[in-house]
Structure 1
C-alpha cells in the first residue's frame, strides 16, 4: 500500500504519531466515539431521513453484521457507487466496522469506470442504487459482475435485479447489541479515493484511518466548527472535498449536522439552507455561478441568513466571481485548493480580503511541507515564481495503489509527491494556482483526462487525428474542445458524443465543442502544440463574435 515510501517517510510517520497528528483511532471507532458524545443529537439529514448519532452508529453495526454474514471479509474491497443519501454514510461505516475497504465511485461513472475500479481493486462486491436519473445501475453492475471474476455479489439500495441482494437484507435487527470494536490497525487503508483523471482512468488513492482522521480534525478546527455547525453536502459525497474538507465527516467530528442535497440546483439547495439553517457548504465555481445567477431572479429572495461560510474549490475561481460571493450570500468566502491525494490549503477567517479574493490560502497543517520546483529540472524556483508544486505531510499519500511505474514518476527519490499543479507562493506563504503540468481539463470541478478522450475519439471512422484541449469558459471554468483532423467527411459533435456514450464513458467526459482542422500545429519535437491549438480556438471564437 505504501509504494514510494522510504526510510525517511517511515521516520516522518513516527514523528506524526509522536507529535499527536495521528491519534491511533480507526474511523469505525470514531463514529462510536461521536455516538457516545452526541447521543440523540442529529448527525445526518437526508430527503426522508433524520438520523441521530446513536441511530447512525447502530445502523452501521447492523450493516457490518449483514456484510459479514454475506461473506465480505476484512481487507476485501467493495466498490460503492451511490448518490448523496444517508445509506452512503451508513454503508461506509458498516464496511469500516467489518474491516472491509470501500472504493469510492461517482454516480456519473458508467461501465468503463466501474469495471476498471473493480478490476484494479479486485473488488468482492459492488453497491449501487437501483435506478438513478433514468439510468439502471443494476444492469451495469450485473455486466461488471459477469466480467470481473473477483466480484461475487451486487448489493442494491432499492429493488435488486436478478441474482442481486437488497441492502435491506444486510440490515440485521438486533446485531448492534454488543457489537465488537472494528478490526484493523489505524495505519491500515480505510478507503480508496480516486485520482482526478490525470491518466486515462482513475488511480486508487489509499487513505488510512490515521491520516484521514487527522485531516478531519484539522479541517474542522480551521473552519471553527462546533456542535452548532450544519454542513450542506452539495457535490457528490464521494468527493474528498465533500467527504472530509471538513465535509460530512469533519462536521460530525465537531458534533454538528450534515445535510445531504439530492442535487446542486439553487431550488434544492436554497430550500435546504433555509429549512435546516445551514452554516457551511462547499461548491465548485460552476455551482457558485449558477447560484449567483439564480439569486437575481428569485422573488422573494431566499432566506440564506444562516450561511456563514461558502467554500469554493476544485477549479479556478475568477476574481470577479469571488468578489460577488460575500455581498450576494451574506457570508464569508473561503477559497480551497486540495486533492484527493492529500494536501489542502485554505484561506482563513481572519485573512486580508485581498488574500481571500486572490489566493487559495495556506496549508492546513503546520506539518505540511511545500516546495515549488521547475517541472523540467526539478530544481527550486526563485521566491514568487511559478513552478510545479511538490509536497509531503501527515495526510498526503505515500503511493498510489498497484501503480509502481506511475509512482516512480509521481514521487521524487526522497519521497516528495509531484502534484502536477503549477503554483506560486506569496510572501505570506499563500498558494496561488496557476495551471497544470498534467494534460487534463478541469470542467466545472470534474477533472477529465485528455488522453482518455483522445484514445476513444480516434476510433471513430471519420476521425483521422484528434487533440482534446481545455478552452476557457465563463460558466464551467474550462470546457472540453475536441480538435479533429477528419478522414473524409468531418464528423458532427452529436456523432462523437453518441459514440462515447455507447462505449460506456461518463456523460461529463463528453466534449462540449468540436473544431475541425486540416492539420495540427506541431512543436519542435513533432508533437501537437496544444497551446497553439487553444489560442487558435479562441481566435476562431473572437472572429465569430460580431464586431
Structure 2
C-alpha cells in the first residue's frame, strides 16, 4: 500500500539495501521457525502466559479469521487496545495478513479516533470493552456515526452490539508475504500543528530499527522486557520494545499501567531485566523503590525517553533502582539516539545520546541558517534508513516539514557535544511536551474556541517540576462578569471527546491577548508574563 506515501529515492533505497541496513525480513514472520522457540515464553501479563508457539498459532488463526471476514492486504485497521495478549497477537496477525495497524493510544477518545479513521480510511476499529471508567464501545458507536469507511468494529471482551475479537477464528491459510519495502504500520506524530499525522513505517525500515536497537541495548533470549508504557507508542513498541524483544527471542512482560503498584510485582514475578519510562515516572519509581517489599534485583536496564530527563533525577537511578540508566531521544518519524551502555556517567546523566545508525545523516541549523558547531544551539534536521520521507496524505505539511534534499525538520532545538552526543534544549514548534505526551496547541485552541464563553484562546507551555511542561490555556471571556473557570472548561473539552492529557492544567483569563507586529498572538510575551 503505497498511495499517499512518500518513498525513499530509488538510489537511496538501493544503497540502504546494498549496505545491509535493509533486508528481506518482514514484520510478523513466524517466530517458531527458529529452533528452540516453540515452548519458550513469549508474553507474560499479570494473569496469562503465552509461548512462542501459542503466539504463532493464535496469530495464524486470527489472520485467517479476519481474511474470511473481508480484511485484505493494504486495509487499514485502527488498533485501540491496552497492553495485553490480544494486542500482541493482533499485531502479528495484521502483519502476516498485510493489513496495516494504525496505533491509537489508550488516552485517545472520540475526536482522535474519528480523525484517525477518516485520515487512514480505516475499514476496521479494534478496541477494548472497558478500561477503568471508559467504555470504549461508546466511542466505537460515536466513531461509526461520524465516519464512512468503517466496515467492522471488533471488541476485546464483552462486544455489546459489535463483534467479539475472540470469535474471529478460522483454520490457517497460506497468505502472500508482504514485500520488505511495503508499508507495515502507521504510527502517530506528536501532532505539533493540529491532530496527529500518520507516519508510514515499512517492513524494511522498521525491521532495521528494532534489530539494531535490540543489538545496541544487548537484548537477547534472556531479556525480559517490561512494557509499562502504551504498546502502541514507538518507544515501547520498537526501541527495541516489545517487537525488538520478540525478534531477539526474549520475553515481553505487559503491564496494565506504568505505576510502581502495577509494575513492581511484575518485575519480581517475571524477573524483568529491562523497561522504558518517560521522565515524570522516574521520581515515582525512585520514591516507591525505597519502601517496596518487591524484589527489583533482576532489573538491569532502565531506558528513559519522551522528553529530557533532568540530570539530578538521572543521577539517582543507578543507586535508587540498582540498574543502568540509558537515555533515549527519538521520534516516531524515525531517528533514535541512545546513550550507550558503557558510556561514562557524565554522558549518561547530562545528554540524550547519539544516533543509532552510522547511516543517520544529521544537520544542526542555527537560526541564521548556518550549521551549528559543538555547543551551539540549532534545529535538528535528519534523514536515514529508518526516518520517513513524508507523512501520509499530507502534501502541504510535507512541503514545510521536509527539505528538498529529504531531511526531516524535527522542530527540536539541540546542542551537540564534542563527542557527538545531543543535549535537547527545547522545541521550535508550538507544542507542549507534557511528560512525554505531545499536546498540540493549535488543536486545543480550536476546541477552546468552540466554547461559547471564550472569545479568544492561546495555549502555551509553562515549566513544571515533574511533568517538564504543563499546558496553560490563556483565554479572553465573552462575558467579563462571568469568566470561565478551569473545571468548567475541562468538562466542556471532555464533552468534545478529546484525550485527557490534552486538557489544560491551568486556565488564565485575560482582558486581551498580546499580539506581534503582524497581528499574531505573541506567545513569547504570554509565557514571560506568566513566569515561563
Which secondary structure state, in structure 1, belongs to the residue aligned with residue 90 of structure 2? Answer: helix
Cα separation, partners in 2 of 1:299 and 1:20, compared to 1, 3 Å: closer
Cα distance in 2 between the residues matched to 1:515 and 1:155:
42
Does 1:288 pair with 2:279? no
Does 1:326 pair with 2:318? yes
Q: Which residue of 1 aligns with 2:514?
A: 521
**Structure 2 counterpart of 1:458, from 426, 430, 449:** 449
Cα separation, partners in 2 of 1:281 and 1:299, compared to 1, 3 Å: closer
- Cα offset for 1:37? 5.1
In the TM superposition, what are the counterparts of 1:197-346 in structure 2 within 5 Å?
Answer: 197-296=191-290, 298=291, 300=293, 302-346=294-338
Cα deviation per residue 1:105-136 (whole Å; 9 max; x = unaligned)?
A: 01111111111111111111101111111211
- Cα offset for 1:150? 1.1
Cα separation, partners in 2 of 1:525 and 1:273, compared to 1, 3 Å: same
Q: Which residue of 2 aligns with 1:11?
A: 11
Q: Which residue of 2 aligns with 1:58?
A: 57
Cα separation, partners in 2 of 1:96 and 1:244, compared to 1, 3 Å: same
Which secondary structure state, in structure 1, belongs to the residue aligned with residue 141 of structure 2? Answer: helix
- Cα offset for 1:433? 0.6
Cα separation, partners in 2 of 1:112 and 1:4, compared to 1, 3 Å: closer
Q: Is the 8 A contact 1:515 1:537 kept in 2?
A: no
Gaps of 5+ in 1: 540-547
Which secondary structure state, in structure 2, belongs to the residue aligned with residue 335 of structure 1? Answer: strand
Q: Is the 8 A contact 1:241 1:247 kept in 2?
A: yes
In the TM superposition, what are the counterparts of 1:75-90 in structure 2 within 5 Å?
Answer: 75-90=74-89
Q: Which residue of 1 aligns with 2:103?
A: 104
Q: Is the 8 A contact 1:4 1:407 kept in 2?
A: no
Cα distance in 1 between the residues matched to 2:63 and 2:426:
43
Cα separation, partners in 2 of 1:37 and 1:189, compared to 1, 3 Å: farther
Q: Is the 8 A contact 2:445 2:457 kept in 1?
A: yes
Cα distance in 1 between the residues matched to 2:361 and 2:425:
19
- Cα offset for 1:161? 2.1
Q: Which residue of 2 aligns with 1:544?
A: none
Q: Which residue of 2 aligns with 1:535?
A: 528
Moved more, 144-153 or 218-227: 144-153
Q: TM-score, normalised by structure 2?
A: 0.96
Moved more, 339-348 or 126-135: 126-135
Which secondary structure state, in structure 1, belongs to the residue aligned with residue 9 of structure 2? Answer: helix
- Cα offset for 1:5? 5.1
Cα distance in 1 between the residues matched to 2:158 and 2:187:
27
Cα distance in 1 between the residues matched to 2:418 and 2:255:
39
Q: Is the 8 A contact 1:99 1:183 kept in 2?
A: yes
Q: Is the 8 A contact 1:145 1:153 kept in 2?
A: no
Cα distance in 2 between the residues matched to 1:368 and 1:316:
21
- Cα offset for 1:146? 2.8
Which secondary structure state, in structure 2, belongs to the residue aligned with residue 44 of structure 1? Answer: strand
Moved more, 478-487 or 440-449: 478-487
Cα deviation per residue 1:393-451 (whole Å; 9 max; x = unaligned)?
A: 11111111101111111110111111111111111110111111110011111101011
Q: Is the 8 A contact 2:365 2:379 kept in 1?
A: yes
Cα distance in 2 between the residues matched to 1:56 and 1:93:
8
- Cα offset for 1:171? 2.6
Does 1:502 pair with 2:501? no
Cα deviation per residue 1:199-255 (whole Å; 9 max; x = unaligned)?
A: 211111000001111111100000011111100000000000000001001111111
- Cα offset for 1:521? 2.9
Cα distance in 1 between the residues matched to 2:371 and 2:3:
26
Q: Which residue of 1 aligns with 2:71?
A: 72
**Structure 2 counterpart of 1:511, from 475, 482, 504:** 504
Moved more, 464-473 or 517-526: 517-526
Q: Is the 8 A contact 2:235 2:276 kept in 1?
A: yes
- Cα offset for 1:4? 8.3
Give 4+ residue runs of structure 1 displaced > 6 Å after superposition: none
Q: Which residue of 1 aligns with 2:92?
A: 93
Which secondary structure state, in structure 2, belongs to the residue aligned with residue 28 of structure 1? Answer: coil
Q: Which residue of 2 aligns with 1:350?
A: 342
Q: Which residue of 2 aligns with 1:545?
A: none
Q: Is the 8 A contact 2:435 2:467 kept in 1?
A: yes
- Cα offset for 1:182? 4.4
Cα distance in 2 between the residues matched to 1:538 and 1:182:
59
- Cα offset for 1:378? 4.1
Q: Which residue of 1 aligns with 2:485?
A: 492
- Cα offset for 1:195? 0.5
Which secondary structure state, in structure 2, belongs to the residue aligned with residue 538 of structure 1? Answer: coil
Which secondary structure state, in structure 2, belongs to the residue aligned with residue 38 of structure 1? Answer: coil
Count of residue pairs brought into register by the alignment: 529
Which secondary structure state, in structure 2, belongs to the residue aligned with residue 259 of structure 1? Answer: strand
Q: Is the 8 A contact 1:4 1:415 kept in 2?
A: no
Q: Is the 8 A contact 1:2 1:398 kept in 2?
A: no
Cα separation, partners in 2 of 1:439 and 1:424, compared to 1, 3 Å: same
Cα distance in 2 between the residues matched to 1:379 and 1:181:
51
Which secondary structure state, in structure 2, belongs to the residue aligned with residue 501 of structure 1? Answer: helix
